[in-house]
Amino acid sequence: MQLTKEKFKERFERKLDDYFENDIKHASNSELCAALSAVVRDGYAPQWRRTRISETHEGNKQIYYFSIEFLPGTLLKSNLLNLGWLKTVREALKEMGLDLDTIAAAEPDMALGNGGLGRLAAAFMDSLASLGYTGNGNGIRYKYGLFKQKFVDGYQKELPNDWLKDDHWEVRRESKAVPVRFGGKVEMVDDDGWLTPRYEGERVVQAVPYDIAVVGYKDGITNTLRLWDAEIPPQDELKYPTIADRRKVEDLTSILYPDDSNYEGLLLRLKQEYFFVSAGLQSILNYFIKDLKQTDFRKLPEYVAVHINDTHPAMAVAELMRLLVDEHRVDWDTAWKITVQTMSYTNHTIMAEALEKWDLSMMQDLLPRIVQIITEIDRRFVESLKGKTSDDVIERTRIIKNGRVHMAHLAIIGSHSINGVAALHTQLLETDVLKDFYELYPKRFNNKTNGIVLRRWLQIANPELSDLLDQTIGTKWRDDSNEMLKFENFYHDTKTLNRLEEIKLDNKKKLAKFIKKETGIEVDPTAIFDVQIKRLHAYKRQTLKLLHILKLYQDLKNGIDHPKRVVIFAAKAAPSYVFAKQIIKVINETANMINNDPDIHGKLKVVFLENYNVSLAERIIPAADVSEQISTTTKEASGTSNMKLMANGALTVATMDGANIEIKDEVGEDNIFSFGLNKDQVYKYYADKSYHPRNIYENDPVLRDTIDSLKEVPNCNGEPQALVNNFLSDNEEFLVLADFEAYLAAQKAVEATWAQKRIWYQMSLVNIAHSERFDVDKTIQRYAQDIWHLKKLHIEKTK
């Protein structure tokens, strides 16, 4: 819908008056934000309704993306951008004496995810709507998002993140509520010749959906992210007389587990997984039967694709079987065909500790019928392979083993497509982690390299760079990222290169101001801004960066010069992850030591910003010169911050891991600083158990001095020693010291290039131009074509 500034002002003032009986002079930022959000909601409402009507009418196939995490961050500016209103609203507010960014800062981050996996799910939602595919998100409405991180004495403390109190987007749809059953006993009885479950002593929870509009960019459609909340069923109120009873039900959706790539077999987590899977599938079948008026379930895969985002929703395989066989009386073989044709699965990690294996007896108590069904799926799987492959392979691939249910096996056996998230990752799945399955089902495996919402990371986060693109290559890139490649034609254009430098400096000044306000630390915007932002995890090796910092510090103390550098970290550690928290403490104390040392004349600063989230990423990324992507090769499935930083012109220092390899392929080896062990070297160390870091320590004086200086970091309680012990332990899994020397060399190359500013910005320009390859729309096109088989929805545009 076209919006003029005048129309906007009028609506905005009316909302402010309706909601708060207030005017722009006296309203608080959160009131202004609420009123602005209300105008935006009115803006997409007709389109949202029309999308729902058209999808039923056209009966196009729909994708349901099942994910236990969605991490959209803030929605206000992204909705404004996608409605095509961003510029108009920004200007209109300015004329009213208001600043959009200040108002938008009052919106809480919707952080219903830990990191990469949740952010990817949100990016997929945006892209599906933007491309005109009917895509639905299915997840959990956590009362508290990912914890808020504070540093006290350099240690991480976690506080609750009560995002709902200021949320403006969700719509409760009680009429779509469905029951979800837990516990009790189940017995199969003959009902008219059909074996039917009879339940006894079960508890029923009411799943109530809250829908959030997903507004597609410009000509896109408006889809739905459906998040489920748990309530007491209205007819069961009397069964929950006390507040404690009620709380038990509410607890189900109260917290997001803060673990990233780490599996803990907790009952509540299992409940959460079944809860949103069952609710989502019931709501899909209700739609199929009631709205599409279908009676033949064999047609389900023509209308519905269900995607399992990592193994957390893998019970969807068994739950769809239950619904088809028990509730709709479809025979087992037919139901199985339908299920496999409907389901597809993405693996996001090769780390063994992240693989979910639920205790069978725990699952049996909570979900007795689901266990019967999984047992039957397992039995038939084993039966189907007997005589066709070795007993060893059968034993390795079956679902239930040693009293545990292997969720990845359930997902693989029950899906027609299995994909990894970057070329190397998929290759490792095929040749190593899921080798047996790859041999059984080679055609099911495929790669889908991750992507990012370039619109957000350029147009919203970096308006100045976006303007430069407009001025050089025209504005078409805003609709078609392929156009960005034309930016390479400006490789020799001094004016453009100078402008790139100015923009970067401007963004760095803004970040420097923010850093000063948040931490009190003074940083020089002309220094190299060296950025590592991602979850804190041993495999991501924030430790390698720490060792580099200590080496630089020692050099500066010894009179060896280096260009000025500001190292910026932001990262949350899982609350129970002791080693990750020790790393945070040591980095914080190292920062204190260095930042307050007058000897080095401010040549090196270290800043650890608290509470990394999408909003903070939007501040840091446009200001980054160097992007640190230094995971142990083979461990980072893809990474996505690498793509965001590249799009904003940061130069990448990278191991050849995950999507870093594809970034290098794209920009060429001259436009990236790659270093470190390759996958074969890493695997050889693992196979031979031949990694003995103590030898490196003893033979490399530079490394030895650096490690020894780590032990001297003040104000700690044994944390530095814990790090040292880890680095030096035999066959240390992440091979930190093995890559140290190569990493220093890569950083030397960074310094040399920094001294030649023209080359630096030429490299930066190439990176920006080629970031188009990682536009999430390209990723989604491939999913839509190869896995989900979707057609675009055609709807009449709002006038």
Which residues are catalytic, by number? 348, 534-535, 540, 640, 644
Binding segment (CB under 6 A) for ligand 26Q, from list 112-120, 177-185, 553-561, 619-627: 112-120
Q: Name the residue nearer to ligand 26Q (CB basis): 491 or 539.
A: 539
Handedness of CA 259, 261, 264, 268 (dihedral sign): positive
Binding segment (CB under 6 A) for ligand 26Q, from list 85-93, 108-116, 366-374, 687-695: 108-116
The contact pattern for ligand 26Q, residues 403-432, with x = CB under 6 A and - = no contact, is ------------------x-----------
Q: Report in angstroms how near the CB of residue 569 gets to ligand 26Q at its nearest.
A: 18
Which residue has the CB atom at the shortest distance from ligand 26Q?
116
Q: To the nearest 5 percent, what fractions of the chain are helix, strand and coil? A: 55, 15, 30
Mention every residue, 6+ apart, whose C-beta is less than 8 A from residue 490: 472, 473, 496, 497, 765
Beta carbons of 119 and 206 less than 8 angstroms apart:
no
Binding segment (CB under 6 A) for ligand 26Q, from list 255-263, 493-501, 696-704, 714-722: 255-263
Degrees to nearest 5, angle at CA 244 with 239 and 246: 50
Choose among 150, 154, 152, 157: nearest CA to 715: 154
Beta carbons of 670 and 786 less than 8 angstroms apart:
no
The contact pattern for ligand 26Q, residues 555-594, with x = CB under 6 A and - = no contact, is ----------------------------------------
Q: Report in angstroms how near the CB of residue 739 gets to ligand 26Q at its nearest.
A: 18
Out of 31, 259, 625, 666, name the contact with ligand 26Q by CB under 6 A.
259
Backbone angles phi, psi at 190, to 5 degrees: -80, 120
Site for ligand 26Q in 340-359 (CB under 6 A): 348-349, 354, 356
Out of 67, 74, 114, 459, name the contact with ligand 26Q by CB under 6 A.
114
Q: Name the residue nearer to ligand 26Q (CB basis): 421 or 440.
A: 421
Binding segment (CB under 6 A) for ligand 26Q, from list 163-171, 257-265, 326-334, 482-490: 257-265
The contact pattern for ligand 26Q, residues 66-85, with x = CB under 6 A and - = no contact, is --------------------
The contact pattern for ligand 26Q, residues 652-691, with x = CB under 6 A and - = no contact, is ------x---------------------------------
Residue 638 interacts with ligand 26Q (CB under 6 A)? yes
Q: Report in angstroms how near the CB of residue 771 gets to ligand 26Q at its nearest.
A: 16
Q: Name the residue nearer to ligand 26Q (CB basis): 171 or 578.
A: 578
Beta carbons of 145 and 112 less than 8 angstroms apart:
yes
Residue 261 interacts with ligand 26Q (CB under 6 A)? yes
Binding segment (CB under 6 A) for ligand 26Q, from list 391-399, 471-479, 631-639, 759-767: 631-639
Q: What is the DSSP string of 391-439?
A: HHHHHHH-SEETTEEEHHHHHHHT-SEEEESSHHHHHHIIIIITHHHHH
Number of H helices, E strands in the chain: 32, 25
Residue 473 interacts with ligand 26Q (CB under 6 A)? no
Q: Report in angstroms how near the CB of residue 644 gets to ligand 26Q at its nearest.
A: 11
Q: Name the residue nearer to ligand 26Q (CB basis): 348 or 545.
A: 348
Residue 450 interacts with ligand 26Q (CB under 6 A)? yes
Mention every residue, 6+ apart, whose C-beta is less than 8 A from residue 120: 421, 450, 640
Residue 71's H or E segment, with its range, is strand 70-73
Give buried/exposed letters for 205-241 (b at 16+ CB in 10 A, else e). Answer: bbbbbbbbbbbbbeebbbbbbbbbbbbbbeeeeeebe
Q: Report in angstroms how near the CB of residue 245 gets to ligand 26Q at its nearest.
A: 26
Out of 31, 260, 378, 777, name the contact with ligand 26Q by CB under 6 A.
260
Total of chain residues touching ligand 26Q, rule CB under 6 A: 25
Q: Report in angstroms how near the CB of residue 257 gets to ligand 26Q at its nearest.
A: 5
Residue 636 interacts with ligand 26Q (CB under 6 A)? yes
The C-alpha atoms of residue 4 and residue 680 are separated, in whole angstroms, by 59
Q: Name the residue nearer to ligand 26Q (CB basis): 68 or 650.
A: 68
Q: Report in angstroms how near the CB of residue 736 gets to ligand 26Q at its nearest.
A: 18
Binding segment (CB under 6 A) for ligand 26Q, from list 113-121, 328-336, 370-378, 459-467: 113-121
CA quadruple 232, 233, 234, 237: dihedral, nearest 10: -50
Binding segment (CB under 6 A) for ligand 26Q, from list 25-33, 433-441, 501-509, 636-644: 636-644
Binding segment (CB under 6 A) for ligand 26Q, from list 33-41, 187-195, 254-262, 477-485: 254-262
- CA 506 distance to own-chain centroid: 28
Residue 269 interacts with ligand 26Q (CB under 6 A)? yes
Out of 217, 263, 529, 783, name the contact with ligand 26Q by CB under 6 A.
263
Out of 16, 120, 306, 647, name the contact with ligand 26Q by CB under 6 A.
120
Q: Report in angstroms how near the CB of residue 379 gets to ligand 26Q at its nearest.
A: 26
Q: Name the residue nearer to ligand 26Q (CB basis): 141 or 508.
A: 141
Residue 270 interacts with ligand 26Q (CB under 6 A)? no
Q: Name the residue nearer to ligand 26Q (CB basis): 270 or 744.
A: 270
Dihedral-angle region of residue 59 (phi above 0 means left; psi in -120 to 50 means alpha; beta otherwise): left
Binding segment (CB under 6 A) for ligand 26Q, from list 262-270, 586-594, 678-686, 790-798: 262-270
Mention every residue, 6+ apart, whose C-beta is less than 8 A from residue 398: 378, 381, 382, 406, 409
Choose among 520, 522, 515, 751: nearest CA to 653: 751
Q: Report in angstroms how near the CB of residue 640 gets to ligand 26Q at its nearest.
A: 5
Choose among 350, 321, 352, 354: nearest CA to 338: 321
For 750-768, the three-class secondary structure string (H helix, E strand, C coil) is HHHHHCCHHHHHHHHHHHH
Q: Report in angstroms how near the CB of residue 117 gets to ligand 26Q at its nearest.
A: 3
Dihedral-angle region of residue 611 (phi above 0 means left; psi in -120 to 50 means alpha; beta otherwise): left
Bridge partners, residue 763, by sequence: none
Strand ordering across the sheet containing 404-406:
357-359, 404-406, 400-401
Q: Name the residue nearer to ligand 26Q (CB basis): 425 or 551.
A: 425
Mention every residue, 6+ apart, whose C-beta is less than 8 A from residue 588: 151, 154, 155, 608
Beta carbons of 345 and 418 less than 8 angstroms apart:
yes
Q: Which amino acid would we find at residue 166?
A: D
Residue 449 interacts with ligand 26Q (CB under 6 A)? no
Degrees to nearest 5, angle at CA 462 with 461 and 466: 130
The C-alpha atoms of residue 416 and residue 90 are separated, in whole angstroms, by 47
Residue 640 interacts with ligand 26Q (CB under 6 A)? yes
Relative to beta strand 171-172, strand 203-215 is: antiparallel
Residue 117 interacts with ligand 26Q (CB under 6 A)? yes
Bridge partners, residue 609, by sequence: 570
Q: Name the residue nearer to ligand 26Q (CB basis): 640 or 726.
A: 640
Two structure tokens written together for 654: 């990278």
The C-alpha atoms of residue 19 and residue 758 are separated, in whole angstroms, by 53
Q: Name the residue nearer to ligand 26Q (CB basis): 638 or 706.
A: 638
The contact pattern for ligand 26Q, residues 308-327, with x = CB under 6 A and - = no contact, is ----x---------------
- CA 352 distance to own-chain centroid: 19
Out of 72, 73, 108, 116, name the contact with ligand 26Q by CB under 6 A.
116
Positions in the binding site for ligand 26Q (CB under 6 A): 114-117, 120, 257, 259-261, 263-264, 269, 312, 348-349, 354, 356, 421, 450, 636-640, 658
